[in-house]
Amino acid sequence: MEILPESCEFQESDEVLMHLVASGDDGAFRRLVERHQGLVIATVARMIGMSDAEDIAQQVFLNVWKSAPRWRPEARFTTWLLTISKRLVFNESRRRCRSRLIPQSRDPDEERPDHPDGTPGPDQQLLERELHGAIERALASLPEKERLAVILRRYENMPYEEIALVLSLSPPAVKSLLFRARNTLREKLALYLKA
């Protein structure tokens, strides 16, 4: 029998944590939230905007807590988690006037410097803001399922099979959805793609 050094910390799988949560283990629930809150908040923010992302994320994890006794590991935990997120986001976006939704997905660390001191010049900042706004508007204009498929594929690097489970579609249907979404985005961003 091999003895692990004390510094080697065991990290429970999501499935183990969910079984503990089902029995009322608050610590296991906290570990699950800490492990996956970034994924949920980022996905929700890209769908409906940062202002409500944390509120929706709290609702997602509240549903996880309530559903834990009935949860069965038929798919990856993150797939199930994103399915709950999808349902809550779609409900929220139906509740709102869709034309006013512009998701916040800007990552300030992605800006490229223009000057030797590391700061982008005013012209570059303006162009980046304009392009970023156009991308956000184009993404927000997509139908919900297409938008979520693009977000999960592009920003979360999720495989087609897992996106299919989240959206309750077949993998070929997801590929078709993404093809339509990319064509729509290409049309809406044609002015920026000519450069």
139 vs 147: CA distance, rounded Å: 6
* Confidence (pLDDT) at 20: 94
* Confidence (pLDDT) at 104: 47
Phi/psi for 44 (5° steps) reads -65, -40
Specify the DSSP class assigned to residue 99.
G
The CATH code belonging to domain 14-105+121-193 is 1.10.1740.10
HSE (side-chain half, CA atoms, 13 Å) at 172: 0
Tens of pLDDT, residue by residue, the chain (195 residues):
445 444 445 688 999 999 999 999 999 999 999 999 999 999 999 888 888 889 999 999 999 999 999 988 888 899 999 999 999 988 887 776 544 444 444 444 444 444 555 566 677 777 777 877 888 888 888 999 999 999 999 888 899 999 999 999 999 999 999 999 999 999 988 887 775
The whole model's pTM is what? 0.68
Q: What is the CA radius of gyration of the chain?
A: 20
Find where tokens 């938008």 sit: 147
Residue 82: which of 109, 56, 112, 60 has the closest Cα?
Answer: 60
* Confidence (pLDDT) at 195: 54
- Count of beta carbons in the 10 Å neighbourhood of residue 59: 20
* Confidence (pLDDT) at 189: 87
Cβ-contact 77, 18 below 8 angstroms: yes
Specify the DSSP class assigned to residue 27.
H
Spell out the domain ranges in the chain.
14-105+121-193
* Confidence (pLDDT) at 111: 43
